[in-house]
């Protein structure tokens, strides 16, 4: 494969709706970001809604981080496969009580190698902080799982003033530009880490 062809490879991008709360705004934000990723042109996008998958809060005696080969609940198989196939991941999250949703923590904790050596980006929304409180905590969690969290992000403070009743942004220029920067970073890191995982498997813990 030529260098020119390789730089144009299409990457699998998983966009995760982290909130499962009734009446959540997450799907509106996620759908907007999926449109931005499609316009970017470098990604095949898979929109993952955690509300579609049972996520037990009680982990097995040996956690997936210690024994990633152990089976998970059968109802989680599709989620596990889709996360495993992703070359890059974007988490769409609100702030709940200055942190991120329990549903998102459960999805993270039930997996390990699915995050490993992959770039993770964030799109946050909430009343005051725009999801930044959740994003900063998620950076620590994903770094512990050997993922790479990119610096750039998209944030929607007071999101309820930014989107119209049709789910479209009232003033899209700023968020659209921020999304492009995030997607550019994910494209670069996603390509580099995709090739690294292919050519040099990530070392297992001793």
User: For the chain (length 206 residues), average pLDDT per consecutive 10?
Assistant: 55 98 97 98 98 89 76 90 98 96 95 95 96 98 97 98 97 98 98 95 72
Give the separation between CA 79 and CA 76, rounded to whole angstroms: 5
- Are 129 and 93 in contact by the 8 Å Cβ rule? The answer is no
pTM: 0.93
H helices present in the chain, as ranges? 3-7, 26-40, 77-85, 102-109, 132-144, 173-199
DSSP 76: G
Question: Which residue, chain included where needed, has tokens 């050519």?
Answer: 199
Number of domains in the chain: 1
- 4 in any annotated domain: no
- Could you tell me the CATH number of the domain that includes residue 159? 3.40.50.360
Residue 46 structural domain? 10-199
- 206 in any annotated domain: no
Taken as a whole, the chain contains a residue count of 206
């Amino acid at each position: 494969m030529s260098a020119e062809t390789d730089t144009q490879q299409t990457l699998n991008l998983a966009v995760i709706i982290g909130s499962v709360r009734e009446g959540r705004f997450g799907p509106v934000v996620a759908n907007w970001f999926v449109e931005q990723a499609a316009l970017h042109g470098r990604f095949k996008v898979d929109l993952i809604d955690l509300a579609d998958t049972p996520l037990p809060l009680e982990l097995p005696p040996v956690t997936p981080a210690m024994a990633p080969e152990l089976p998970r609940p059968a109802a989680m198989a599709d989620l596990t496969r889709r996360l495993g196939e992703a070359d890059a991941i974007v988490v769409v999250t609100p702030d709940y009580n200055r942190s991120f949703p329990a549903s998102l923590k459960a999805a993270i904790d039930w997996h390990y190698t699915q995050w490993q050596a992959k770039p993770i980006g964030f799109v946050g929304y909430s009343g005051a902080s725009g999801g930044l409180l959740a994003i900063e905590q998620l950076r620590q969690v994903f770094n512990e799982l050997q993922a790479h969290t990119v610096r750039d992000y998209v944030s929607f403070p007071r999101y309820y003033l930014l989107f119209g009743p049709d789910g479209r942004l009232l003033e899209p220029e700023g968020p659209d530009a921020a999304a492009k920067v995030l997607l550019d970073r994910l494209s670069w890191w996603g390509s580099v880490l995709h090739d690294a995982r292919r050519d040099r498997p990530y070392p297992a813990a001793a």
